[in-house]
């Protein structure tokens, strides 16, 4: 049962203090799934405590793995008998579950995974994943809502992605590490989460080069061994707290971050006029003067991340002047705009672009969260708004932000969770 909690926010407080950034959700998920590639023990550290991670652990357990979780450390032991079937019940809760397909196919020669919700037959939203498996020699069948891949042997090939998809790159990478011969992934995703997965796989004995560039070369090995891997910091959580400092005219020190992963976000904030001091693993963000509007387009890494687009819109809604945000990665990712309008923002959606007439006073009201990052944007807007904001459907936020309200409260926000 989903808990229908809400956040109550009293806006208008400047945030001040320091925040410890958690491990990256999007890096932790594929690293946890990489444990399917071996029977040895894998220890994954700096794993955030989130709903998506709990779903991943449940999925690993359903596949037969023994999983022990202690704080941010997850230990995955051998499977009594590794299963090849990922049920609808778990995949529908989290799209990223489809990334078990590559490792299962590599280990067992078969994988049967529910198609994520919203997919039509033909599986368009995971078509790049499936095309990669086919290239490696798998036969693909879609039946009764499940996609089944079978391949007695996987053989290394050159695979060119039509788009540098993060999930498809992860799936192909994990299928290729145990394939016979050399695989070359062209137009591969370059996101830090891919680099982290590749490092995790290398620490298990995989032979991978070029991760972090658009061409990843994998020399297949017969088997992988266990590992202990520490997940990278969450660049989107970090970006969200930087936006929180900016929108509340506050001053926050972010600890345990990797500033190199945040360059596009830091550049945008600098252009807006936020003062930033960047250390090795810390960032100090301080509001010192009214910010300027900054227009941007979302891009694949190292461009401005689509997962920060909603938060940027909330910030721009509070900044005097006109800005334009263009979403180039996802077609329908402006659902937060409708809610921001209800708070008094002036935003005009024109296809893939949103034009924001910033600087109107936002006022608190009940808001409905439609997805994870939209939820983050609404919390930010609530922190800046006058009066009380009630953010409904907080379960979306619980998928990706570890103890968000506690972290915000610790730096001076008036926010609390209430049961509905
Ligand atoms: C991952 C991230 C998500 C982020 C996104 C883009 C995880 C768990 N999630 O999602 O937070 O917003 O990267 O940075 O890591 N596409 C296809 N066919 C495919 C695969 C993708 O058409 O087979 C399209 C998608 O519909 C989308 C675009 O490619 O328009 C990018 O998607 P992709 O990079 O695959 O995102 P995810 O891996 O799902």
Q: What is the pLDDT of residues 172-186, one digit of tens each?
A: 999 999 999 999 999
CATH class (in words) of the domain with range 6-21+233-418: alpha beta
Q: For residue 29, give the ligand 1 atom closest to its CA.
A: 8
254-273 confidence digits (pLDDT tens): 999 999 999 999 999 999 99
Domain with CATH 3.65.10.10 in the chain: 6-21+233-418, 25-230
Supply the DSSP string of 73-132, one letter for each residue: EEEEEEESS---EE-HHHHTT-GGGGGGHHHHHHHHSEEEEEPPTTPPTT-GGGHHHHHH
Let me know: does 250 contact 287? Beta carbons within 8 Å: yes
Catalytic status, residue 119: yes
Tell me what pLDDT residue 119 has.
Answer: 28
Closest by CA to 24, choosing from 299, 236, 254, 266, is: 236
Q: What's the rounded Cα separation, in Å, for the pair 11 and 22?
A: 25
Residue with tokens 């006073």: 361
Nearest CA to ligand 1 atom 26: 125
**Residue 201 pLDDT > 70, yes or no?**
yes
What's the mean per-residue pLDDT of the chain?
95
**Residue 405 pLDDT > 50, yes or no?**
yes
Let me know: does 241 contact 254? Beta carbons within 8 Å: yes
Tell me what pLDDT residue 117 has.
Answer: 57
Q: What's the rounded Cα separation, in Å, for the pair 26 and 48?
A: 10
CATH 3.40.228.10 fits 25-230, yes or no: no
Q: What's the rounded Cα separation, in Å, for the pair 36 and 99?
A: 11
Pairing of strands 353-358, 321-326: antiparallel
Query: Exposed/middle/buried for 384, CB within 10 Å: 0-12, 13-18, 19+?
Result: buried
> With a threshold of 0.95, does the pTM exceed it?
yes
**Residue 118 pLDDT > 50, yes or no?**
no
42-82 confidence digits (pLDDT tens): 999 999 999 999 999 999 999 999 999 999 999 999 988 99
Ligand 1 center from residue 166 Cα (angstroms): 6
- Higher pLDDT: 80 or 190? It is 190
Ligand 1 center from residue 323 Cα (angstroms): 26
Helix or strand run (H / E) with residue 419: strand 414-419
Nearest CA to ligand 1 atom 17: 125
Tell me what pLDDT residue 122 has.
Answer: 27
Nearest CA to ligand 1 atom 15: 26
């Amino acid at each position: 049962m989903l808990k229908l909690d809400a956040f109550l926010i009293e806006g208008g407080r400047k945030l001040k203090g320091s925040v410890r950034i958690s491990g990256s959700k999007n890096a932790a998920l594929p690293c946890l799934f990489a444990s399917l590639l071996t029977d040895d023990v894998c220890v994954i550290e700096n794993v955030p405590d989130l709903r998506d991670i709990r779903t991943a652990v449940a999925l690993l357990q359903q596949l037969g793995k023994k999983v022990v979780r202690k704080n941010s450390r997850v230990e995955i032991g051998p499977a009594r008998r590794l299963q090849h079937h990922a049920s609808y019940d778990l995949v529908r809760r989290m799209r990223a579950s489809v990334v078990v397909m590559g490792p299962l196919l590599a280990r067992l020669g078969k994988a049967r995974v529910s198609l994520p919700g919203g997919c039509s037959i033909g599986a368009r939203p995971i078509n790049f994943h499936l095309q990669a498996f086919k290239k490696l020699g798998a036969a693909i069948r879609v039946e009764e809502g499940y996609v089944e891949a079978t391949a007695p042997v996987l053989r290394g090939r050159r695979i060119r992605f039509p788009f540098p998809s993060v999930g498809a790159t992860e799936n192909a990478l994990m299928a290729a590490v145990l394939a016979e011969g050399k695989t070359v992934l062209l137009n591969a995703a370059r996101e830090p989460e891919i680099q982290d997965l590749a490092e995790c796989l290398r620490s298990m004995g995989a032979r991978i080069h070029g991760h972090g560039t658009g061409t990843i070369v994998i020399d297949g090995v017969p088997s992988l061994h266990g590992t202990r891997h520490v997940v990278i910091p969450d660049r989107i959580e970090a970006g969200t707290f930087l936006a929180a400092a900016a929108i509340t005219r506050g001053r926050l020190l972010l600890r345990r971050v990797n500033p190199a992963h945040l360059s596009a976000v830091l550049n945008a904030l600098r252009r807006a006029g936020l003062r930033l001091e960047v250390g090795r693993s810390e960032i100090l963000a301080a509001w010192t003067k009214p910010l300027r509007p900054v227009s941007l387009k979302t891009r694949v890494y190292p461009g401005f991340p689509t997962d920060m687009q909603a938060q940027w819109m909330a910030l721009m809604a509070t900044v005097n002047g006109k800005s334009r945000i263009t979403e180039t990665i996802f077609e329908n990712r402006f659902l937060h705009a409708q809610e921001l309008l209800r708070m008094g923002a002036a935003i005009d959606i024109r296809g893939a672009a949103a034009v924001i007439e910033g600087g109107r006073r936002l006022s608190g009201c009940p808001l409905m969260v439609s997805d994870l990052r939209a939820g983050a944007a609404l919390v930010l807007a609530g922190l800046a708004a006058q009066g009380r904001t009630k953010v409904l459907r907080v379960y979306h936020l619980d998928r990706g932000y570890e103890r968000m309200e506690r972290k915000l409260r610790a730096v001076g926000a008036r926010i609390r969770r209430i049961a509905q």
